Amino acid sequence: MYVDRLVGTDAGIPPRLVMIHGACNTGACFLVTPDGRPGWAHDFAEAGYDTYVVDWPGHGRSPMRPGFMTLSTRDVRDAVAGLLREIGPSILLAHSAGGPIAWSLAESVPHLVQAIIGVAPGPPANLVDNLPPKGEALEAMAKDSESGLPISAPVDELFYVDLDFVQQHWFTGAQAPIGAAEHYYRMVVPESPRVINERFNIEGQGVGVSDVTLIGNRPILIVTPDSDPRHPRSLDAKTASLFGADFVWLADRGILGNGHMLMSDRNSLAISKLMMGWLSSVGMGMNAPARKHDPSGNDG
């Protein structure tokens, strides 16, 4: 598994932060925005966090080995666990399908997970209905935003998203930079169908948790944007409630117009600063980012 490391600028021993991307993505989503601004990884490193950005196995700069078609969420979890064993206890920041990976890591290697920030995170399978791979029931739920717009993937071919999907599901907020979907689409990668079917618990394949108390025995924050069609407030609030986590609906903090790829949006720095503020409140804080925040939403 390829890992980028951005060394924290703080003197002494800075906290370690591991960023975990979602399905059909790579760690590039944390490194740079579609309009060329430094991404969240730079925000956290400049604030002092020793920041690690992974490319899941078979994604981006990590080699796609034989058997990728059956790559599972647990396989990715085990790769990240290997990183944690090398670097030591860390904070996890997990986006989208990275959510189930983070929840599972907190259960499988609890001593190596200090805190979790879930950004529009996938829930554990405990909260997702056991869905059929096709049929009227799935088709109905696929149009229901309160159900998280579940999908299934044919198991005999790689799963791809097209530009239309990226526009309609990932860059749906007013804060998306001009041409964001077109630029970002160049970074999209094929996905293992198993990962997709596990994310939406198709035929009960999802990755659940057995010890909710163990996972919740650490600071957890869930951050949800106001314009993400797959993450309505009610759905992510259920995940937060399950773990006893802090839950932030960004609109309640005056941060508006963010879609699913909120780390790419024009106000991305405002969101990273919010997360750093929360880390400070739970005793894992550093200094604020060096770059200034433009209240108009155009961070430079």
pLDDT confidence of residue 206: 96
The pLDDT of residue 297 is 46
pLDDT at 293: 40
Q: Which CATH class is domain 3-281?
A: alpha beta
Q: What is the pLDDT of residue 132?
A: 83
DSSP string, the chain: --EEEE---SSS-PPEEEEE--TT--THHHHB-TTS-B-HHHHHHHTT-EEEEE--TTSTTS---TTGGG--HHHHHHHHHHHHHHH-SEEEEEETTHHHHHHHHHHHSGGGEEEEEEESPPPPGGGS--B-SSSHHHHHHTT-GGGT------TTS-B---HHHIIIIIS-STTSPTTHHHHHHTT---B-HHHHHHHTTBTT-S---S-HHHHTSS-EEEEE-TT-TT--HHHHHHHHHHHT-EEEEGGGGT-----TTGGGSTTHHHHHHHHHHHHHHTT---PPPSSPP-TTS---
Q: What is the pLDDT along the chain (300 residues), one digit of tens a residue?
A: 999 999 876 656 679 999 999 999 999 999 999 999 999 999 999 999 999 999 999 999 999 999 999 999 999 999 999 999 999 999 999 999 999 999 999 999 999 999 999 999 999 999 998 888 887 777 777 777 777 788 899 999 999 999 999 999 999 999 999 999 999 999 999 999 999 999 999 999 999 999 999 999 999 999 999 999 999 999 999 999 999 999 999 999 999 999 999 999 999 999 999 999 999 999 987 644 444 444 344 443
Structural domain spans, the chain: 3-281
